[in-house]
Amino acid sequence: MDLYGDAFMKLKKIDIREIDGFRLGNAENTEAGTGVTVIIADEGAVAGVDVRGGGPATRETDLLRSENTVSKINAVVLSGGSAFGLEAASGVMRALAEKGAGFKVGDLSIPIVTGASLFDLEVGRNDVFPDVNMGREAVRNAYDGTFETGNHGAGTGTSVGKILGMDRAMKTGLGTFACGDGIIEVGAIAAVNACADVYSGAGNIISGLLSPDRTEIMGTVKVLKGMIHPDSEPDIELSDIKHLAAEEAKKKSLSEETSSGNEKEDIAKALMASYLQEQAETKPLQTAEETPSLPEQEETAEQNEPEAAELADTPSEEVSVYIPDDNETITQEDVSFEPQYADDEQTADETITAEIPENDEPVSVSEDGSENESEPESEGEPVETEEEPAQAPDIIEITPIQQEEIREQEELQIEETFDEPDREEEEEEIPPEEDEFELSEEDKADFGYDITFNTTISCVITNAIITKSQANKLASILHDAYARAIKPVHMTLDGDTVFVMSTCTQEVNFDAFAALATDVLQYAIIDGAHSAESAYGLPASRDIIRK
């Protein structure tokens, strides 16, 4: 026995305009980069809504709360223009009232129109918004059957990947997807406008934050991982380094009069020149990793005999030198110079040759050859002494230690002068590309410097029988589609909103239907990236991926 009969059919993709009981229409101002999309329910629809993110712009969403009176709505309006764009819903409301739609109060019809707006003011003009007239036009187009996706309606000025500003963003648009099995029908309309990126069903970025040269999709998550702490800067990815270096080298090669005419060759030469210059600038700051061997010290001593002779005429003073490990930093406390005269028993005719110990331990030797009794014993060979004639004013044997002392003093001077202000000056001399990552403290708190409201707004339409409470629950569940297709999702300056509208003609298993509807909305968001065309200086997914 066939328990399901003809009702057991496979789902297939359909045109969203095939879902009975709904009309879809757009209106836009292409020059201004903004527009309106309206979803009309001819006989009204049970509806719900769920708003996430920190920056929503909505209208009449409180009417959809389960405990409130209104049971059906007449339209959902998705518009650009930020909060200014909410005015378009008034035009939709007036146009529907003229058609007799809405809640009846005597001879008066009051259409119930809810809506949400997204921020697109940085794409086209920022002084033109969806208004009453644009709302009226969207209604006319809906009844005329005029509806297009991509750069139309609320998708006219949408974009994604804006965490580092609009110069690294990409163009998205209005996306749709719908399916049915001949009985149950469900579709979704999404105006995709987010701070972050859009991912395909396979988990690949298809639209989002561009690389510095705007030829590849780099991704927002990579940048945000380096901005967890309020005072941190985002990590520069290897791909970023490649692009930054190549771009800087290209500028240098094109500006130099000695250009060979071969761009790739000039870039390679400029990169090498930049590398060599960097090495030359950092070389003076490098410290010696190893202490010179004894033969080298003796050779140095011979070269500096006149200097040693002059030092011999100066008053005797103790020299205490600490030889640090490679990873240690020398401070002023590690090197001391305390005057101390020689012991009475030692004459001017006696000198001491000090062997530098292998282990990094303090060695204390006076300039006249006296040995400091307080110095710790070395684990290496003991200090050997030998007598020489009185003309030892040259004191060649201790000159290496004096040389080591001079070297330590120079390093200390470098360490003392290499303070934070100098580091800031060096950072200012870094190639200008890195300025893209320098954010003010106020902007870092918002994870970027050029981010405003970036709301992805959508509406799911269906003929499934659901209550008002279930419509609100379904709207909440549908945000899982946002999380699958947009990463990161629901950021502080997003105002992501999901509407649900149903004509309630076919029974469903709610949980199973919710899973299906979530997939449908996910694919609508992906379509919002695929259907967009490059505009307003922003490249679209089809143009970047095609390369």
pLDDT at 14 over 90: yes
pLDDT band for position 471 (cuts 50, 70, 90): very high
What is the chain's Cα-based Rg? 38
For residue 420, being part of any structural domain is answered with no
pLDDT band for position 66 (cuts 50, 70, 90): very high
Q: Which domain holds residue 181?
A: 13-216+450-546
pLDDT at 163 over 80: yes
Q: Are residues 185 and 42 in the same domain?
A: yes
134-143, 176-185, 267-276, 427-436: which has the minimum mean pLDDT?
Answer: 427-436
Distance from C-alpha of 219 to C-alpha of 238, rounded to nearest angstrom: 13
Q: Are residues 183 and 55 in the same domain?
A: yes
Mean pLDDT for 420-428 is 45
Q: Which two tokens stand for residue 87?
A: 């005015």
pLDDT at 249 over 70: no
List pLDDT tens digits, range 310-341. 545 555 444 444 455 555 554 444 444 444 44
Q: Are residues 174 and 309 in the same domain?
A: no
pLDDT at 116 over 80: yes
Distance from C-alpha of 515 to C-alpha of 484, rounded to nearest angstrom: 13
For residue 435, being part of any structural domain is answered with no
55-64, 121-130, 221-230, 387-396: which has the minimum mean pLDDT?
Answer: 387-396
- Report whether 27 contacts 506 (CB < 8 A): no
Q: Are residues 398 and 488 in the same domain?
A: no
pLDDT band for position 292 (cuts 50, 70, 90): very low
pLDDT given for residue 517 in this prediction? 97
pLDDT at 413 over 70: no
Q: Are residues 404 and 493 in the same domain?
A: no
Q: Are residues 460 and 403 in the same domain?
A: no
Strands 103-105 and 34-51 come out as unpaired
Structurally, the chain folds into a number of domains equal to 2
- Report whether 454 contacts 11 (CB < 8 A): no
**pTM over the 0.75 mark:** no
pLDDT at 3 over 70: no
Q: Are residues 406 and 509 in the same domain?
A: no
pLDDT given for residue 399 in this prediction? 58
Nearest residue to 93 via CA among 105, 79, 76, 69 = 76
Distance from C-alpha of 490 to C-alpha of 481, rounded to nearest angstrom: 12
Q: Are residues 365 and 484 in the same domain?
A: no
% pLDDT > 90, the chain:
46
Nearest residue to 403 via CA among 415, 392, 395, 393 = 395
What contacts 547, CB < 8 A, 6 or more positions away? 215
Torsion over CA: 119, 121, 123, 127 (sign): positive
Q: Are residues 309 and 176 in the same domain?
A: no
pLDDT given for residue 414 in this prediction? 52
List pLDDT tens digits, range 203-241. 899 999 998 889 899 888 888 877 777 766 555 554 454
For residue 252, being part of any structural domain is answered with no
Q: Which residue would you say has higher pLDDT here, 393 or 96?
A: 96
Distance from C-alpha of 41 to C-alpha of 63, rounded to nearest angstrom: 16
Distance from C-alpha of 525 to C-alpha of 206, rounded to nearest angstrom: 11
What contacts 271, CB < 8 A, 6 or more positions away? 245, 246, 249
pLDDT band for position 507 (cuts 50, 70, 90): very high
Distance from C-alpha of 247 to C-alpha of 255, rounded to nearest angstrom: 12
- Within 10 angstroms of residue 376's Cβ, the number of other Cβ atoms is 9
Tell me the backbone φ, ψ of residue 217, rounded to 5 degrees: -90, 115
Q: Are residues 532 and 465 in the same domain?
A: yes
pLDDT given for residue 94 in this prediction? 96
Mean pLDDT for 111-119 is 95
Q: Which two tokens stand for residue 423?
A: 């580091």
Q: What is the CATH number of the domain that holds 454?
A: 3.60.70.12
pLDDT given for residue 285 in this prediction? 44
Q: Are residues 461 and 387 in the same domain?
A: no
pLDDT at 9 over 80: no
